[in-house]
Amino acid sequence: MAQEENQVLPKGPAGAHPFQSVMDELRDAGVRILGGENFYKLLYKLCKHKGMQMNGSPTTAAKNGGLKRSVVISQAKELLREYKATGLIVLPAHIKAKGSNNKYKHDGEADANRNFNGQDWKAPNPPLPKHAKPATTIWGIQSAQKQARKAISNASKMAVIEAYAKEHKCTIAQAMVTLM
């Protein structure tokens, strides 16, 4: 019984979480632990506490590695188990965060376009061709049928004028004056 009194009891209830020691370590460091974190979120908080960059979303990490979300969470469980045994965290490439912490931090230059320096930047597409505007009249925009009817009637009037000019051997302007 004397040996049992000297042992340090964990802060959380025994068997409540498989990584209760990691949770207690984070709680002692002042990291907010609710107790319901999944393995990935617990690993994220541990990495953040240790100063390592890690992708905060298991879904994004899964997309980066071409894996399922559940596989990434089970990888996080294995990494926590390894940390508990050795005290080391070795993150796979798809779980590591990309870029730096202050990638888009405002530096006082509001007009700076920071996207031009990226590798994958490409020029914007050329503007689309402009559509022909419909003819406008005093009463508004003409419909295509009305424009077609007007063109046909104008063509038939012109044919009549040309025939009159040929028949009477005069100019088209003279024929227009006489017919109108």
pLDDT in tens, 13-71: 555 677 888 888 888 999 888 878 888 988 999 988 888 888 888 888 888 888 899 99
Residue 48 lies in a domain: yes
Number of domains in the chain: 2
Residue 81 region by backbone torsions, left for phi larger than 0, else alpha for psi between -120 and 50, else beta? alpha
What residues form DSSP beta bridges with 136? 141
**What's the CA gap between 133 and 4, in Å, rounded?**
91
Question: Is 121 a domain residue?
Answer: no
Full domain range(s) for residue 14: 10-86
Instruction: Give me the residue label for tokens 């990490």.
Output: 61
Please tell me the predicted confidence (pLDDT) of residue 81.
92
pTM for the model: 0.48
